[in-house]
Amino acid sequence: MASSAAYFAFSVLVALHLCCCHGQAPDAAGSSSDVTAIYSLGDSITDTGNLIKEAPPGMFETIKHLPYGITFGYPTGRCSDGLLMIDFLAQDLGLPFLNPYLGKNKSFDHGVNFAVAGATAMDPTDQFNGRFFAPFSSNSLNVQLRWFKDFMKSTFSTEEGNSPDQFHIRKRLQSSLVLIGEIGGNDYNYALFGKSVSEVEKLIPGVEVLEMGANRVIIPGNFPIGCMPTYLTSKRSSEPSDYDATGCLRELNRFAAKHNARLRRAIADELRPSYPAAAVAYADYFNSFLALLDAAGELGFDAGSARRACCGAGGGEYNYDPRRMCGAEGAAACAEPEKYVSWDGVHMTQAAYRAMSRLVYHGMYLEPQILSLADAP
């Protein structure tokens, strides 16, 4: 595992030609008012519109149309009824929403979103050594890193325009927040359908994405996937012992927890000692999501629908059917998305993302707490 973790950290640094080791690290409990930009990489949890610009014609048409974006007012390319965690984080930092990198004529003065829905941590050519099929994953982490590198070079080039201005790149990153992920979940998602958990566990070392080279970095872990309608439907079991007290699948959650444990260990044992001048925080999406489920009623959700998709055509306990997903003919959105945690069985509602953002960035699930945000309800 250590060699895989080191490889990813090294490849990120080489790709960006940046150094986080010089200069003052942000105070772990200091002010976030000096964050003037956010640079984000990841998948559909964070994508604010890149996939709809990049996807082949005819693919992923549903997210271009209502009911996606229905709470926001119109579809934006986000895989939700409205805003995402990255949007609420930007608001909390007093910054505008991040524009997608592939958007035309957009402002990138306060950061860029490189995340692409469906993206994987591993490159398609290396994916699972040919053992598993990924339906769409051309925009892997390395592709996003190349975009990042190209953006920084073109934005902070010398007067001659043929070489990057390293001083101004470092200066910009010192006042920026870099968010890496969540990414790696799709590597597992593509593999788990048709494979056992024990087979897919072999992929864990290869999808740990650790570091971007800035001096303020947040690396989220994976969600408790055994609580998602997509898996609760596809991996349904007749054995009550396969479910925990919250109604989630034990084996899948143990699998996600194992991934997160290795990621946290790599951050603690490799990244922080290697880059002591950088503030590297782990965002605990796993336990914050479980906390959300546990307190769903208190947080304004319908506790009885906490594991049921708002938008779908599956009916039944989870309202999820992979053949008729949200946006497809025959599928429909619920009347009150704000009462639901899951939007389409895979992604969360705006209300759930808001709650998650508060739990993570304002609460106890950012380790260490490198942001100092105003209290939120």
CA distances in angstroms from 195 to 188, 189, 198, 325, listed in the order given: 10, 10, 8, 22
Instruction: Answer yes or no: is 33 within a domain.
Output: no
Locate 10 and state its tokens.
Answer: 């090294």
Q: Which neighbouring-strand residues pair with 249?
A: 243
* Residue 81 within a domain: yes
pLDDT band at 223 (very low <50, low <70, confident <90, very high): very high
Higher pLDDT: 40 or 3? It is 40
Rounded alpha-carbon distances, angstroms, from residue 131 to 60, 70, 106, 194, 231: 25, 38, 39, 11, 21
Give the separation between CA 17 and CA 179, rounded to whole angstroms. Answer: 18
Whether residue 68 contacts residue 62, with contact meaning beta carbons closer than 8 Å, is answered with: yes
User: Is 78 inside any structural domain?
Assistant: yes
Q: What is the pLDDT of residue 128?
A: 46
pLDDT in tens, 22-42: 344 555 444 566 899 999 988
Residue 23: inside a domain, yes or no?
Answer: no
| Residues 120/134, Cβ–Cβ less than 8 Å | yes
Domain annotation covers residue 109: yes
Q: Of 43, 344, 357, 362, which one is the catalytic site residue?
A: 344
The mean pLDDT of 76-99, rounded to a whole number, is 96
44 is catalytic: yes
pLDDT band at 180 (very low <50, low <70, confident <90, very high): confident
372 within a domain of the structure (yes/no): no
Q: How confident is the model at residue 200 (pLDDT cuts 50, 70, 90)?
A: very low
Q: Is residue 223 part of a domain?
A: yes
Of 32, 44, 137, 176, the active-site residue reads 44
Q: How far is CA 376 from CA 66, 226, 368, 372, in A?
A: 30, 29, 19, 12
pLDDT of residue 303: 94
Q: How is 304-359 classified by DSSP, letter by letter? A: GGTTSBSEES--TTT---TTS-TTSTT-EE-S-GGG-SBSSSSSB-HHHHHHHHHH
> Is 110 one of the catalytic residues?
no
Rounded mean pLDDT of 161-167?
62
The rounded mean pLDDT for the chain is: 79
pLDDT recorded at residue 213: 46
Close Cβ partners of 252 (under 8 Å, ≥ 6 residues apart): 192, 197, 224, 225, 226, 231, 235
Residue 352 has pLDDT above 90, yes or no: yes
* Domain encompassing residue 124: 42-367
Domains identified in the chain, total number: 1
What's the rounded mean pLDDT across residues 285-306?
96
Choose the catalytic residue: 110, 259, 347, 362. Answer: 347
At 358-371, the pLDDT tens digits run: 999 998 999 999 99
Query: Is 347 known to be catalytic?
Result: yes
Q: What pLDDT is stored for residue 261 in this prediction?
A: 87
Asked whether residue 184 carries a pLDDT value surpassing 80, the answer given is no
Give the domain CATH number at 79: 3.40.50
Residue 194 has pLDDT above 60, yes or no: no
- Residue 110 belongs to some domain of the structure: yes
